[in-house]
Structure 1
């Protein structure tokens, strides 16, 4: 297996996920906010890529023997000076994860966020949260070494980002939703997707890119095959789980529900893609689709406005997939030959990242809101913020001439 070519291809696939996310989120919002919504993703793409190349990549790797370090030094190899050409492949691949993780958060504040304030938040959050958390999970930090630290328990399993990506982004999304408050007229069904085909196209691009997301780090064909199949199995089962619940709950199975189920299954399988047999992956997907179909209504019961259900999809499915490994991870899960040790380390990693990301995002978001302001005015929100914030319209159709 030519790992160099596959990693480069995977990096391109994962980079495509952020424009895919922009389409997915853009179709879900009001027609007069689609440009603003998509710009939150593209803004994150530009900013986080630059920060990653300058110092984020260095922060995401901790020197051996220093597992309790907050992160690697941001000044080591600043701007990738002195990094060998082959090592730059890993830097490029890692950048795409940093970008999509930050962009995911933006769905919680759709229709009401200032672009400049979002960019400030994205840069600070990536620096203080994503870069160090990536070091904890994948870069030799305390989460990577948690099992050994606790006395020979299994290592935490997070192959492609259940904790570092989805739980991390979902917790931050919850914090920002609380900081910005509810949309004007917030209630169940406040807005319907203005462009369903755009949502479906975005979801398709996300699923396509997810094969690079999950399988990009595979070093041999057998592992890649398992991951690839599981990345088909879980979202496929999640589609069924979601639309069954949706039909029972609301009387109709919708296309937006189907692709939301696919995303829930993709999120859930992300940490588990290399450590479940396909049968257990199918079960995980079905559970994630069904649970998330119910979880998206949590915001109405608890009174927070997570506009595009980042919490109900990414946080909930990320937690499900990460904890599921404690029961069904091949060889170490409680029900498949292991003991409670795997579950214990999975729980600790989930709790730590939820608390850390939520608290830091809450502090950053509150500081921005209290100083320069994070939310647009109610008048601008109702009118639609595309023309006001960006001077553009998503659908600037010429008026028909009158004869």
Structure 2
């Protein structure tokens, strides 16, 4: 891109460090308009994400002002607002990060058509994943990988792009109206992590020092040795490439999790119906309907403590430990036999890190509907709880009704003496859909 003025449309790359679209525009143009459009069509889906987004935008505005620029804010359709602003200041080009969701791809197609109509250039840049979602193809043919292990091998062997430097300075066109950031919306969860690239970098620095022990700690529910970086990756406060490199061990267990993220992005690129259409043809798509059981699961009142602890952590923090996500998801789909799409919608409402590729891909995997070589695998919630929360501390943290139950007995309160059980304000386990499992007998 060459010329006088360019617009950089921020979407899910809310940072100035290692932002290829911003860096290229600043290198090739005299004036740059950093733009974010608050799209009413995306607002209100998750109060937690709306709040986090507001904090991200405030942080991004401060970072751009430190470079001499500002974040220009508009409300409405992102394509219409981008073209309107570009025409107002005779911009010759628009830069945007590529993305894979059905919404993002439709936005890109419309933006390209409008740029062509108004004789502007449009460039799509990497930055949402480590490796571009369409860059790796299976050797046996096909446009995407359906199994993680061969994808991981190809991903490790791929050439990663170089991180780009933060621009030295950003110069806005004269007379531009930057717009006000609206008042912060209220989130649903009281203990959501703070949004913004600054908070994300602080968390990454802390985690990088602990990352060598990640493989031993990340499944510990009570110890919580996970990175908590997923919200910052979801909004692009942190570059996933920079995160993978900061940890140091490219073939280590944490970077493998980053690769899982890339894996689902390349699936979402090839399968735009990922959030609603099962990837694997089921022998019998026999999901049942039980509104009471579903509500009990969503509210954390199933009577199975580790499941309830996970769901209550979700409500309190807008986040859930990954091991707890697997347990809660398997309980809904394999034990209650309720449709994974209903669980996905609950997670989408609460999760700060909720996005289409990972939320949908993981739900399909745990339900046996996705790309998994063992679709019928189960997660015995008691065995999982006793292994990953052996002292019951995670359960007692989020299920206060059971705070007085000592040790691992907290995982099976229905086996407590009747006199003690009657003192607990805690429900019995939900009835299973099908044969009673051994752990409940």
TM-score (norm 2): 0.24
* Structure with greater proportional strand content: 2
| Highest RCO, 1 vs 2 (Cα 8 Å, sep ≥ 6) | 1
Larger radius of gyration: 2
For normalisation by structure 1, the TM-score amounts to: 0.26
